[in-house]
Amino acid sequence: MVNIPGLVAGNFEDCPVHKISATDTNKFLLLCDRKQVPFTSFVEIFEVGGRTPSNEHVEAYEYFYVLKGEGLAKVGSEYEMPIRQGSFIIIPPGNHHDIINTGSSRLYCLTTMIPDEKFSDMIKAGPVAELDDEDLAVLKAMIPSKQ
């Protein structure tokens, strides 16, 4: 048995999925949280026309990397950036921001917040959600096949 303090490993299929509230248009596949490491990381899945609830963080940097889909990243009233597969944006603390799905299919972002600012607690306190067949197909397609 290997004992490596702080090591976190797993498979997305074993991770919890939640929404922050039942009416939200995005859900979170929680990969790790502040009880494991000093940050949180999740796959955020936006329905067509969906968006993050407008928010800002006091201390946290928030990193979004687009895995699939397209949308718009807005930071304050000064900055807008179209996003698509391969796009990333790092939003510094104290900046109001929105991620909006402007595409014709779901938007999938790998998102990390450092530090967590108890955001993972808010996710876990929300209603349980599920990955459907479309989500599973997208996430499994990102796993390299064994040759």
CATH number at residue 57: 2.60.120.10
CB of 112 closer than 8 Å to CB of 41: yes
In a domain, 94, yes or no: yes
Structural domain contains residue 126: yes
Distance of alpha carbon 1 from alpha carbon 42, whole angstroms: 28
Is 18 among the domain residues?
A: no
pLDDT of residue 1: 57
Tell me, yes or no, whether 15 lies in a domain. no
Assigned domain for 24 exists: no
Q: Domain count of the chain? A: 1
Predicted confidence (pLDDT) per residue in 122-145, tens digit: 999 999 999 999 999 999 998 877
pTM exceeding 0.85 = yes
Residue 71 forms part of a structural domain: yes
Dist. CA 107–CA 145, nearest whole Å = 23
Range of the domain at 101: 30-141
- Say what the pLDDT of residue 12 is: 94
